[in-house]
Amino acid sequence: MTGDLAITSLRGGAIDAIRAADLDRKTALAQESATRWFARRVSLRSPLDAALPERPGRPDKPVLTPPTQVEKRSLHTLKGRIALLHAIAHIELNAVDLALDIVARFASEQVPNSFFDGWMQVAFEEAKHFRMVRARLNDLGADYGDLPAHDGLWQAAHSTRNDLTARLAVVPLILEARGLDVTPSLQAKMRETGDLESADVLDVIYNDEKGHVAVGAKWFRFLCAREKRDPAKAFQELVRANFRGPLKPPFNDLARAEAGLTPSFYRSLASISHA
């Protein structure tokens, strides 16, 4: 498929991937744009790049609903495991577009090329995760789109579209870090039910996500240093201004710290939100 992907630049490839409603094409464009960028076979920007869309391209299904209306099911049933994998597929698909959006939207920022290296690595891996989870759904006789899904993740991107520091605070350092908190218990539950294949997919995602949070933390600290801001304090201010809802414990402090996200960042926000 890579032969027919006309990529004008890194930003152009990222925008075309975001716009693509065909999910095989979206993930192929994300990965091919990353591969060409890593080899420095495309420029960062081009006058031929398409315009960045308001929303990413999506197929007709799944139907999007408010998060409160997405039904919870027991993992001890096949339906429950399918529902969980469907929810994870939806998160990973949004993560592909979120990583690409950071690259495309902020392609004119004064940052080193290694910033774009990091986010294209994230985009490449999120595309891999989506494909893996979708393949596992297929193994279980289901597909992405069979169940409703929620739209909260893209709202977080929209609210931080004009501020790169806020985007890094909300997307990698809250939303991705949340994956580090919840995934180990989901892995354990999948193993308990005997679904070792799904647990193995979650293992790959968990290990990669540590790296994604680390990319976010690295560049958040970089921007704070440049602006002479205290990173933990800046994080708290940006989260209060740009993120709806509490930061919910329990936190995976060890995995977060390995990724450069220490408790000084998030503990006080959790205690305030539970006051």
Calculated CA dihedral for residues 42, 45, 49, 54, nearest 10 degrees: 120
Q: Strands 149-150 and 64-65: what pairing?
A: parallel
Going from N- to C-terminal start, the domains of the chain cover 65-271
Residue 120 has which token pair?
């294209």
Tell me, what's the pLDDT at 275?
36
Note the pTM of the prediction, 2 decimals.
0.93
Phi, psi for 149 (deg, rounded to 5)? -145, 165
Tell me, what's the pLDDT at 156?
76
Instruction: Give CA separation, 184 vs 110, 198, 201, 251, in Å.
Output: 37, 13, 12, 11
9 confidence band (pLDDT: 50, 70, 90) = very high
Task: Determine the Cα–Cα distance for residues 223 and 238; give it in Å rounded to an integer.
Answer: 13
Q: What is the mean pLDDT of the chain?
A: 92
Residue 137 has which token pair?
């759904």
Interval 197-253: pLDDT, tens: 999 999 999 999 999 999 999 999 999 999 999 999 999 999 999 987 778 889 999
Interval 46-101: pLDDT, tens: 999 999 998 999 999 999 887 777 677 788 899 999 999 999 999 999 999 999 99
Q: Which CATH superfamily is domain 65-271 in?
A: Ferritin, core subunit, four-helix bundle (1.20.1260.10)
